[in-house]
A and B are shown apart, each in its own frame.
Chain A
Amino acid sequence: MMLELGLNQQPAHTRQGSSIGQPLTRRDGFLKVTGTARYAADNHPPGMLYAVLAVSSIARGRVVSLDIEAAKAHSGVVEVMTPLNRPALAVDPDAKDHPFMFRLDLLQNDGVRYPNQSIAVVIAETLEAATEGAALLSPRYETLPARVGLDGGKSFVPRGVGVGNPAVQEKGDVEAGLESARTRIEAAYETPAQYHNAMEPHAIVAAWDGDQLSIDTPSQGLAMAQGRIAGLFGIAPRNVHIRSPFLGGGFGSKGMISGPQVLGILAARLVGRPVKLVLRREQMYGPVGHRAPARQTLRMGMDGEGRLTALSHHARTTSSTFDDFFEPAADASHTLYASPAIATSHDAVRLDTGTPLFMRAPGEATGSIALESAIDEAAHACGMDPLEFRLRNYAEVEPMTGKPFSSKALRECYEQAAEAFGWASRPLQPRRMRDADGFLTGWGMGTATFPALMFQAEARAVLRADGSGLMETGAQDMGQGAWTAFAQIAADGLGLDIDQVDFRAGSSDLPNAGIAGGSGHTATAGMAIHNAGAAVIARLADLATGNEASPLFGAGNEGVLARGGRLYRRDDESRGESYSEILARAGLAEIEGHGKGAPDPASQETYAKHAHGAVFAEVKVDPDLGQIRVTRLVGAFAAGRVINPRLVRSQYYGGMIWGVSFALHEEAVTDRRSGRIQNANLAEYHVPVNADVPSVEALLVHEDDPHVNALGIKGVGEIGITGTAGAVANAVWHATGVRPRRFPIRIEDLLG
């Protein structure tokens, strides 16, 4: 897809010939603020019907009856899809070819394995008729007791956690390290289940034309979605055309195609007409993933200087009864603090919930809030300032593996953020600061980290005889600014001004851009774009340097520079010619080049690659009423090359606000009898509102990383949540002297 409107507020001359590094405003911003950006659910192909899910009331059991007649008798209802008439699929939705193929609930039987599981789909001429039809189904169930909570089942050690990391890892002798320690702490923390709650619900508009399927749906990974859908329906991936120009947030929940989205496609197949299916907010609490709750125990030993002698981090988490995703919370302790002995372990119980999934720094966020709290406790136990303690335990190499870091400007982050925050005047003891209104004031800090991941992506570049360029990759913009950042990389890759480049993304018909997840999209698809640009420029240079009529004749590939739509001799910039001239002479309307983005296996082996940051928080707590308000956040982050400082800063802001959300607001509250979540709406599932968002400052710390990729990009999407959540918790402790043990921290925890 192409943005219908490419507005560039910054004129070319202010960009000094390079697009990368410029604070361009979002190119899609105008479309969004004027309401003209077309999200999936905004599509209405002719003849479209509406599908509404009927979902289970119970957490576990079986549907014994549905009043299909009543639903069908309702005016406007066209069809009711149940396990009895659901069109056949080519593969069993419960089959699992690889760990990241998640089992889906696609009406394969009458079983219920979590609340809000789809049990039927009502298809009607109007949304209202479908909604009422779904209500008229009046399901009856055979109900089994729900298994809920971190102790809701027999615990076991999962085969792997996160993306296949070992559940148990150890280096050195932790018990001996603890034994020899001068000071020891042991601390436990509980975090609740959280739900992604992207503003835009999962929505799909699906239309079949023979065995061609066209789909509008938000997706963080178009090629993966395409492959999964093609597999389920037994058609070629190229027959599946997914458009996803904008996502109203994903946070991981749109990484994999979800069951309800596939049900929309099945519904369209059943009725032979296009169908739209949009989840209601409460229906997003089940089938589209969540962050599992966790109970974490940390043990640390320190020598007389406050150096860690041992660090042990255990996490109990949960998964569904029918699939595996285990939040790798304890792995947060692998990368941050130097210790001769480190042990991390996980165990889990299976509950009657939907399968947990990747959610905003999966593992890192949960693990970080516990690790950073425990580090704060350890510093206090040693009588040390928390920053000094962290510097004392600064990891010069990755603690768990001993690998050198590809780059690590964490020291600079600490320094710059502490300075901007004014950390130096912090009293060591808690409950020492009050503001003019008598509120207890506390300062806390946390270290932020997130791995610099890359996946696989491809891009196609074209240069045209009129001097313009085209760059194509099926990238996904979920609000992070991909439309803008990738166009910047494309412009530099093609040696063109950004206004001369058409950038196409957001469609599965374009080259595979990998996933917008793991904070690796800009690095991965960005490298594909960069390489595609280099490939097409190399072809162009061949045309020029091999032609006697060109002023570049004989310069050779290495000797040519591309800038501003012209090639120049590297050794003599007065000799050059424009792309159009070269193509015209060659009699070509256009030439193309292809590029890939992928992690470099060699540097993967050699280096530990992470982004880092330091976050400082100020909170005020009402001493009698327990009310907590974050008043100030300062973060400094080093994450390699900054493609667009405006967008990057806004990612950090967003991440830091999610950190506040983790520490103080988010929690899915479960009714223990039914297993149902009782606050499945945005009035009661709290995220911060504007008034909760204090003054937030994000400093961009320069970091040159020659190893992560040629562009030097790490990732900025998720790191902000790590560090921040712990910083807020530590500030609450510093204000009150009460150590938060469960999250979110609530009034009742501080009433004393």
Chain B
Amino acid sequence: MRDFSYLRATSVDAARQAAALPGAMLLAGGTTLIDLAKCGVAEPDTLVDITHLKGLDRIEIDERGAIIGALARMGHVADHDDIKSRFPAISEALWQAASAQIRNMATIGGNLMQRTRCPYFRDPSNFSACNKRVSGSGCSAIGGVTRGHAVLGTSDACIAMYPGDLATVLVAFDATVRLGDRHIRVDDFFLLPGTTPDREHAIEPGEMITAIEIPSSAAAHRSTYLKVRDRQSYEFAAASAAVGLELESDGRTIRDLRVALGGVATKPWRARAVEAALKGKVLEPEAVRAASLLAVEGAVDHGANHYKIELAPRVVARAILKMGETA
């Protein structure tokens, strides 16, 4: 086997230092990393196990918002009472992600960092061309099996879909990723593939996610995550929408609306055009459906994933209307 060293980090600083070395990778729940190592995508020289770091699994909630430690387990966050009541979309997104076994192992930090499910990306021994793995090597997916690939945010270099559910909610509610002292908006943390699909996150060597922070808002309080897929569970989204809604006191006019899409884009995808089109308007089905079409403006398909362009606006509209029905 390929030997690698295993380090158990005793402090965040130690973890960061160790992870700064070339070939080092952080190990949290391991549900992504071990898989990727098995299929030859990740070939770490050093694994820096951060799961023993104290205090990083805390979930703190007050009126300003929630701070979720990077090591909090997906399952734990999904079941947290205050998360459920104040940020229902977060709980719903996590609860519909992966499987119970994976949620028990996997951490929030690792969840944000999960890699694409593009089958060509995950199969280096049979497909050498993948710009995400090896910059400039080409893209095997284009012209191949593309049903699960992105229709938004793609480039000629890469059309891989970002598969995470949680980050879709986070981007809708202006959450921030804490890399120790450096804080960065989730929307800026995830990068578009452009010509450098190998660079997915605005994270530098030696940086580590310590927490995510989600500001409180009326929209986050009245939020939902709608995930559509062929199988009832244990499947990534064909299309999903995170939606938060705040109405004026008349109970019909939209004061604040947050919309983000999952399962269709190369990164968690905020649909600001939909939000802008509906803010200040009366919430009514026709207007919502029309505005939701803006969610896929500029979408480009690669054959088998064309249906996502049809589906995504319907998912958005459904989620908004569903939120409208809850008083």
B156 contacts the other chain (CB 8 A): no
Among the listed stretches A339-347, A581-589, A621-629, which one makes contact with chain B, having 4 or more residues with CB under 8 Å of it? A621-629
Please judge, given known A-B contacts A129-B1, A669-B147, A751-B311, whether A686 and B126 are in contact too, CB under 8 Å: no
Would A689 and B231 count as touching, CB distance under 8 A?
Answer: yes
A232 and B125 CA atoms in complex are apart in Å by: 32
> What band does the interface of chain B fall in when counting residues whose beta carbon is under 8 Å from A?
20 to 34
Distance, CA A115 to CA B126, complexed state (A): 10
Q: Which residue of B lies closest to A625 (CB)?
A: B228
Interface stretch, picked from A265-273, A427-435, A674-682, is A674-682
Interface status of A154 (Cβ within 8 A of chain B): no
> CB-CB contacts of B173-197 with A at 8 A, as 1s and 0s?
0000000000000000000000000
B232 and A691 form a contact (CB under 8 A)? yes
Q: Total interface residues on A, using CB and 8 Å? A: 39
Nearest CB on A from B304, distance (A):
8
- A629 and B126 form a contact (CB under 8 A): no
Q: Are B314 and A625 in contact (CB under 8 A)?
A: yes
Question: Which chain B residues lie closer than 8 Å to A683 at the CB level?
Answer: 117, 234
Among A671, A679, A684, A686, residue most surrounded by chain B Cβ atoms (within 10 Å): A671
Q: Is the CB of A678 within 8 A of B144?
A: yes
CA distance A115 to B238 in the complex (A): 28
Q: Are B119 and A678 in contact (CB under 8 A)?
A: yes
B80: A residues at CB distance < 8 A: none
> Does B235 reach chain A (CB closer than 8 Å)?
yes
A169 nearest CB across to chain B (Å)? 37
**Cα of A128 to Cα of B307 in the assembled complex, Å:** 42
Instruction: Given the known inter-chain contacts A128-B1, A129-B1, A132-B2, please indicate yes or no for A686 contacting B231, CB distance below 8 A.
Output: yes
Chain B residues near A684: list those with CB within 8 A: 117, 119
Q: Are A135 and B40 in contact (CB under 8 A)?
A: yes
Closest to B145 in A: A678
Evaluate contact between A747 and B40: CB separation under 8 angstroms: no
- Residue B279 is within 8 A (CB to CB) of chain A in the complex: no
Q: Does B298 contact A (CB under 8 A)?
A: no
Q: Which residue of A lies closest to B234 (CB)?
A: A689
Report the bound CA distance from A8 to B233 in whole Å.
36
B230 touches A689 (CB 8 A): no
* Distance from B47 Cβ to chain A, minimum over Cβ atoms (Å): 15
Q: Which of B229-274 contact A (CB under 8 A)?
A: 229-235, 238
B238 touches A686 (CB 8 A): no
| B40 x A691 contact (CB < 8 A) | no
| B221 part of interface (Cβ distance < 8 Å) | no
Q: Contacts A57-B125, A673-B143, A751-B311; is A686 near B235 (CB within 8 Å)? A: yes
Q: Which residues of B contact A57 (CB under 8 A)?
A: 125-126
0/1 per residue, B124-136, Cβ < 8 Å to A? 0111000000000
- Bound CA span A622–B230, Å: 11
CA–CA, A704 and B318, complex, Å: 54
A57 to B127, CA, bound (A): 9
Closest to A132 in B: B1
Interface residue B310 (Cβ < 8 Å from any Cβ of A): yes
Question: Counting CB contacts under 8 A, is A153 at the interface?
Answer: no
B232, closest chain A residue (CB): A691
- Provide the bound-state CA to CA distance between A132 and B1, in Å: 5
Contact B119 A679 (CB under 8 A): yes
On whether the beta carbons of A671 and B144 are closer than 8 Å, the reply is yes
A747 close to B307 (CB less than 8 A):
yes
Cα(A57)–Cα(B129), bound, Å: 14
Which of A674, A683, A744: most chain B CB closer than 10 A? A683
Question: Hey, what's the 0/1 contact readout for A123-153 against B, CB within 8 Å counting as 1?
Answer: 0001011011001000000000000000000
Given contacts A129-B1, A691-B233, A747-B238, whether A676 and B315 have CB atoms under 8 Å apart is: no
- Chain B positions within 8 Å of A115 at CB level: 126
- Nearest residue (CB) in B for A670 is B145
Return chain A residues, CB-CB under 8 Å to B238. 747
| B230 near A671: Cβ-Cβ < 8 Å | no
A573 at the interface (CB under 8 A from B): no
Cβ contact within 8 Å between B144 and A692: no
A664 interface hit (Cβ, 8 Å)? yes
Cα A131 to Cα B125 with chains together (Å): 13
Q: Closest A residue to B231 by CB, please name it.
A: A686
Which residues of A, 620-668, contact B by the 8 Å Cβ criterion?
622, 624-629, 664-665
User: How far apart sit A673 and B147, CA to CA, in the bound complex (Å)?
Assistant: 16
Which of B126, B234, B307 is in CB contact (< 8 Å) with A676? Answer: B126
Chain B residues with CB under 8 Å of A111's CB are: none
Q: How far is the CB of A707 from chain B (nearest CB, A)?
A: 43
Is A692 a contact partner of B228 (Cβ separation < 8 A)?
Answer: no
Which residues in chain B, 108-127, are within 8 Å of chain A measured between CB atoms? Answer: 117, 119-120, 123, 125-127
Contact (Cβ within 8 A) A692 B232? yes
A746 CA / B305 CA spacing, docked (Å): 12
A326 to B127, CA, bound (A): 31
Task: Decide: A671 near B145, CB < 8 A? Known: A135-B125, A627-B228, A746-B230.
Answer: yes
Given A669-B147, A679-B119, A747-B230, check contact A625 B1 (CB 8 Å): no
A127: nearest chain-B partner, CB-CB: B1
Q: Tell me if A673 and B144 are in contact (CB < 8 A).
A: yes
Instruction: For chain B, residues 79 to 97, give those with C-beta under 8 angstroms from any C-beta of chain A.
Output: none
Of B127, B231, B234, B318, the residue contacting A625 (CB under 8 A) is: B318
Instruction: State whether the Cβ of A688 lies closer than 8 Å to any Cβ in chain B.
Output: yes
Kindly provide the distance from the CB of B238 to the nearest chain A CB, expressed in whole angstroms. 6
Is the C-beta of A571 less than 8 angstroms from some C-beta in chain B? no
- Contact B1–A126 (Cβ < 8 Å): yes
Taking the closest CB of chain A, its distance from the CB of B78, in whole angstroms, is 16
Residues of B within 8 A of A624 (CB): 314, 317-318
Q: For the complex, give the distance between the alpha carbons of A670 and B228 in Å.
A: 24
A748 located at the interface, meaning its Cβ lies under 8 Å from any Cβ of chain B in the complex: yes
Alpha-carbon separation in the docked complex, A684 to B317 (Å): 28
A131 neighbours in B (Cβ, 8 Å): 1
CA distance A581 to B310 in the complex (A): 81
Docked complex Cα distance between A664 and B231 (Å): 8
The CA-CA distance from A472 to B184 in the complex, in Å, is 70
Q: How far is the CA of A689 from the CA of B234 in the complex (A)?
A: 7
Complex Cα spacing A671 to B126, Å? 12
Q: Which residues of A contact B311 (CB under 8 A)?
A: 625-626, 747-748, 751
| Cβ-defined contact, A747 with B125, below 8 A | no
| Set of chain A residues within 8 Å of B2, measured between Cβ atoms | 132
- Give A684 to B99 CA distance when docked, in angstroms: 13
Q: Which residues of B contact A676 (CB under 8 A)?
A: 123, 126
Which residues from A are CB-within-8-Å of B233? 689-692
Chain A residues, CB < 8 A from B145: 669-671, 678-679
Contact (A689, B232) CB under 8 Å given A669-B145, A678-B144:
yes
Residues of B within 8 A of A664 (CB): 230
- Closest beta carbon of chain B to A665's beta carbon, Å: 6
- For B317, list chain A residues within 8 Å (CB): 624
The answer for the CA separation of A675 and B168 in the assembled complex, in Å, is 34
CA A465 to CA B80, docked complex, whole Å:
66
One digit per residue, 1 when the CB lies within 8 angstroms of any chain A CB and 0 when it does not, for chain B 158-178 equals: 000000000000000000000
Give B40-96 interface residues, CB cut-off 8 Å to A.
40
* Bound-state Cα–Cα, A672 to B141, Å: 11
Residue of A nearest to B128 (CB): A57
A671: B residues at CB distance < 8 A: 144-145
**A622→B314 CA distance, assembly (Å):** 11
* Shortest beta-carbon contacts, A-B, top 6: A128-B1, A748-B307, A691-B232, A691-B233, A678-B119, A678-B145
21 A-B contacts (beta carbon < 8 Å): A57-B125, A132-B1, A132-B2, A625-B311, A625-B314, A629-B232, A665-B231, A676-B123, A679-B119, A679-B145, A688-B231, A689-B232, A690-B233, A691-B234, A746-B230, A748-B306, A748-B307, A748-B311, A751-B307, A751-B311, A751-B314
Give 19 A-B pairs besides A678-B123, A751-B314 with Cβ atoms closer than 8 angstroms: A57-B125, A131-B1, A132-B2, A135-B40, A624-B314, A624-B318, A625-B228, A625-B311, A627-B229, A664-B230, A679-B119, A683-B234, A684-B119, A686-B231, A691-B231, A691-B233, A692-B231, A747-B228, A747-B307
Question: B interface vs A, CB < 8 Å?
Answer: 1-2, 40, 99, 117, 119-120, 123, 125-127, 143-145, 147, 228-235, 238, 306-307, 310-311, 314-315, 317-318
